[in-house]
Amino acid sequence: MRRIMVAGNWKMHGSTDMVETLLGGVMAGLGDDMPVDVAVFPPAPYLSQVQALAAGSRVEWGGQTLNPNEQGAFTGEVSGAMLADFGCRYVLVGHSERRTLFGETDTDVAARFEAAGRAGLTPVLCVGETQAQREAGETEAVVAAQIDAVLERCGIAAMADALVAYEPVWAIGTGLTASPEQAQAVHAFIRDKLSALDATIGGQIRILYGGSVKSSNAADLFARDDIDGALVGGASLTAEDFLGICRGAS
């Protein structure tokens, strides 16, 4: 049984005041019996504050990216060990904004995925196609190539402690959500692909959907067989919206 996970990617939003209000609101509103795992991904400067507030609660946290190197002269970068030092359990790798705005290739993403594992972090591998790629019928080929780059470098066994987030680029921050049918089709494709290599890992891995998830569409998405939760951007920035998505898991 795969438990629903709702993860909030705060992107480059926040202040100490906002973290206190937002995280305090989320922790206060999460009922003990809500059948959902919850994680937040704050900007790196706020990890220490999140750790202080959320330690011992049911909210976990992670980094938005990591540098593949362990340490060294990489000005501005953050290593996996540093994220682990601040109590992170997870780290996003290959978010589409990292790929498109910061030039991360499939090969770079695979190196970051490997570095996450070395640091004891659970990577959340983000994949997804652009609008043009979808219209050209390339969705499965694009997603397969993004996953294959990681499999070639790290092997299927590395997927035993990982999540996948399917985030169609055309649905991110646009208000356009993939329909539950569209998302389910790609999630099933991803699970089948992994199951062909290892049935246990394919059956157990959680595949989150991301792209304009809101409280009004979350329950419909979570009802699909292969959609195991959500990676939420905009709606993770207010406690009430985020909690509304968490309630979609019940």
8 Å CB contact between 128 and 122: no
Residue 214 CA to residue 192 CA, distance in Å, equals 27
**Contacting residue, 231, 239, 243, 245, with ligand 13P by CB under 6 A:** 231
Instruction: Give least dist CB 235 to ligand 13P, A.
Output: 6
Does position 9 bind ligand 13P by CB under 6 A? yes
Helix ranges (DSSP H) in 47-138? 47-54, 80-85, 96-101, 106-118, 131-135
> Per rule CB under 6 A, is residue 167 in the interface with ligand 13P?
yes
Q: Is 233 in the site for ligand 13P (CB under 6 A)?
A: yes
DSSP 67: B
User: Considering the rule CB under 6 A, would residue 208 count as an interface residue with ligand 13P?
Assistant: no
N- to C-terminal Cα separation, the chain: 14
Active site residue 187: no
The reply to whether 127 sits near ligand 13P by the rule CB under 6 A is no
Strand ranges inside the chain, DSSP E: 4-9, 36-41, 59-63, 90-93, 122-127, 163-166, 206-210, 229-232
The catalytic residue among 60, 95, 97, 104 is: 95
d(CA 220, CA 90): 26
The active-site residue out of 60, 97, 167, 187 is 167
For this structure, is 60 an active site residue?
no
**Three-class secondary structure of residue 140 per DSSP:** helix
| Residue closest to ligand 13P (Cβ) | 233
Contact residue for ligand 13P among 212, 239, 246, 249 (CB under 6 A): 212
- Identify which range of 44-52, 139-147, 186-194, 231-239 contacts ligand 13P by CB under 6 A: 231-239
Residue numbers at the binding site for ligand 13P (CB under 6 A): 9, 95, 167, 172-173, 210-213, 231-235
Residues with a known catalytic role: 95, 167
